[in-house]
Amino acid sequence: MLILGKTSATESSHFESELMTGSTTAKIELRGLSQVFYGERDVVALESVSLAIAAGRFVSLIGPSGCGKSTIFNILAGLQLPTKGAVFIDGENVTGGIGVVGYMLQKDLLLPWRTVLDNVILGMEIRGMPVREARAQALPYLYKYGLGGFEKQYPATLSGGMRQRAALLRTLLYDCEIILLDEPFGALDAQTRVRMQEWLLQIWSDFGKTIIFVTHDVDEAVYLSDEIYVMSPRPGRVKERFDVDLARPRPRHLVNAPEFAVYRQHCLDLLSHDAPDEVAASAA
């Protein structure tokens, strides 16, 4: 029988505290994040969320809609200040800092008036690299990662999968060590999505980045991840974290293996077994 390396919410806090105190090195830490949106009717989006992620890991966040996954990303990216708590990268408090992580949304946001190559180098330009130098550095990556020959095309001529490749390369070449991916393949058809998952694992292996990935697709989370955090309904909390102890590289047929099915079912059980008061609170 496969034994999941899982931790409950309480045990997860202990796990994170070990990383934070130095027994294990954390690349990125969220410490007690809470987020309240004040208004005519206050909304508690997050409550005491703590994560600790080691360098080079591929980590997925899954949970019901409205549980605060995108709020976590906005806080990580410095686009939103938390009501409580802090973000640390390499032990430094970077809460509210802009430009410390790369952030890719589900929509590719390619600029229609720029060629594929000039879209890919946008982050490099923002960092101050001369255009000619940026183009020379980026062009080999287009050929290596499936966009060779399309560098002078415009986004309107590309398929959905190719647009996502260009957007992800743009994010990676911005040259941050931490990459946030918010459902980047959610709008793609099933076949393209499978190809993009395999492509993403290859590019992650090549670049060695730390990736935090949001998805509603349980199979996608298990197939891609080293570890998974499962969020509760609003107010979002860490319900459980567990390691995905499946050998890499991961062939596609792994999704049909019994050990894969154990992780899939565990995720589905966690997502479907919300206590009635949690569901009521999220709907209130």
List domains and CATH numbers for the chain.
5-101+176-283 (3.40.50.300)
Q: What are phi and psi of 109, to 5 degrees?
A: 55, 30
What's the pLDDT score for residue 2?
47
Q: Per residue in 167-179, pLDDT tens?
A: 999 999 988 899 9
Q: What are phi and psi of 275, to 5 degrees?
A: -65, 150
What's the pLDDT score for residue 284?
40
What's the pLDDT score for residue 226?
97
Q: How many whole angstroms separate alpha carbon 67 and alpha carbon 143?
A: 39
Beta strand ranges found along the chain (DSSP E): 5-8, 28-37, 43-53, 58-62, 84-89, 92-93, 102-104, 178-182, 210-214, 227-231, 238-243
Q: How many whole angstroms separate alpha carbon 129 and alpha carbon 137?
A: 10
Residue 66 makes CB contacts below 8 A (sequence gap 6+) with 233, 234, 282
What's the pLDDT score for residue 65?
87
| Residue 39 burial (10 A CB sphere; 0-12, 13-18, 19+) | exposed
Q: What is the mean pLDDT of residues 245-272?
A: 95
Q: What is the mean pLDDT of residues 230-242?
A: 94
Q: Per residue in 100-153, pLDDT tens?
A: 999 998 888 999 999 999 999 999 999 899 999 999 999 999 999 989 999 999
Whether residue 140 is preceded by a cis peptide bond, meaning omega within 30 degrees of 0, is: no
- 23: pLDDT confidence band, cut at 50, 70 and 90? very low
What pTM was computed for the model?
Answer: 0.86
Q: Is the pLDDT of residue 278 over 70?
A: no
Higher pLDDT, 12 or 84: 84
Query: Strand 238-243 vs strand 5-8: parallel, antiparallel, or unpaired?
Result: antiparallel
